[in-house]
Amino acid sequence: MKILTWGGLRGGISITLALSLPEFRGRDMVLGVTYVMVVFSLLVQATRLGRMVRHFSSPTSISEQAAPRK
């Protein structure tokens, strides 16, 4: 579940909401900042996704997940 959360859809809702804003004086700046933040989060999360998958799919992690919960 942690991997799905980390690697899930990034920025789709943010961009949709920014594009749906009515015309106002600072709308272009809001759109630009939204796109920059989405691209930044994509780059940061995409570069770390492989490391996270390897960490959570290690044999110790799998055995810990298979242990019964109390």
What is the reported pLDDT for 33?
Answer: 95
Do the beta carbons of residue 7 and residue 48 sit within 8 Å? no
Any idea where the domains of the chain sit in the sequence?
Answer: 2-60
Measured distance CA(39)–CA(42) in Å, rounded:
5
Kindly report the pTM of this predicted structure. Answer: 0.58
| Full pLDDT tens readout for the chain, 70 residues | 565 555 566 678 888 889 999 999 999 999 999 999 888 888 887 777 777 777 777 665 455 555 555 5
What stretches of 1-70 adopt beta strand conformation (E)?
none
